[in-house]
Every structure is written in C-alpha cells, then in structure tokens.
Amino acid sequence: MNVRKIVTVVEEIHTEGGRAVSGPARIAVVAAVIENPWAGQGFVEDLNPGIDAHASDIGALLAPAVLEALQAPAEAYGKAAVVGLDGEVEHGSALIHTLKFGDHFRKAAGATTLLPAVEKRGPAGVVFDIPLKHITDATIRSHHQTIEIRLTDAPHPNEIVIALAAAAQGRPQQRLAPLSTEQ
C-alpha cells in the first residue's frame, strides 16, 4: 500500500442553536490518500487480490489514529472512499466494504453495527460527507450525523482517499424522540 499522506481533522462544537454545548462535542476524521491498486489496469474482473493486499492494512492504520484524534471513546462512526477519476467507485467500495477493513474500527471502538459509508468518484478537492451512526445501535437517532470533508489536493486521478470518522457523542442539542415513539 502506497500512502501519499494522512490528514487528520478534529472538529469541536462549543455552541449550537445559540446555546453552549456540554462537552464540547468532538468529531474526528483521519483520511489516508493511497495509490489506487487497480488504476491503469483497465477493467479488473477480480478485485480480491487487491482487497487481500490492502484492505486490512489501511483499516489497521486508520482505526487507532481516528480514535486517538478523538481523545474520547467513540459513540458514533462512519467511513468513506473517494476514488480519483482514473478509477471506479467499485475500487473504493472494494477496500472499505469488507470485514478485513471494518473490523479494525469495530474492535477498536467496541462497536457492533455496520459502518455507514459514502463512496464516490471525483477530482482533487471534491467535497464528501461521511455519515455517522451509533456504534452499537443504528436506530439511535441522536447519533445520525455527518461531517463534511475536503482534501484540496486529493484524490489525484490514480488515488483513493480512505477515511474513518468518529464522534464522541450524538448531535449537539439533539431533541428528537426515540424511534420507538413512532412505531
């Protein structure tokens, strides 16, 4: 796996809706810009060799880094893959939609739910939103949130941005009733 760079973003929200947030509310993202292992090969029928060679390594790299950046236990999490223009969305999906990748984050965070994800193709500087949900119960509404990310120089056409996001809490000032009140 060829990593060009790693970017860490930590957002702290101190006020929301004109009121102080108890906390502050923290969300961390760690993104690795890697060489697309399938770029320049034309259509690759079997992505499994590339998955086997890279998915676990990138998960092992990012999972502890995002939790360290968060500086608190994770309550919500998500993932992203943004593929440069010489690749396919499927290349990013191949790396992040496998237990070889996701189990690193689930184990490190003590999570049991599937990681919500975004995957897309775009040029350097493309904006992408990473969805987050609760780590053990995806129906907990307070933890459904997103964080917007943009790397000004990535992905290059032959690269993939792989990112993990973690939040130490749900949305600041959330007030929605539990899902069970509507069932």
Residue boundaries of the structural domains of the chain: 3-182
Provide the pLDDT for residue 40.
Answer: 87
Q: What is the mean pLDDT of residues 132-152?
A: 95
Beta carbons within 8 Å of 1's beta carbon, 6+ residues apart: 34, 35, 37, 53, 54, 57, 58
119-138 pLDDT, tens digit each: 999 999 999 999 999 999 98
Name residue 147's beta-bridge partners: 130
Task: Identify the CATH number of the domain defined by range 3-182.
Answer: 3.30.1330.110
Question: With contact defined as beta carbons under 8 Å apart, do 30 and 79 qualify?
Answer: no
Q: Which amino acid is at 5?
A: K
Q: What is the mean pLDDT of residues 60-75?
A: 98
Question: With contact defined as beta carbons under 8 Å apart, do 168 and 74 qualify?
Answer: yes
User: Residue 59: which of 108, 4, 26, 102 has the closest Cα?
Assistant: 102
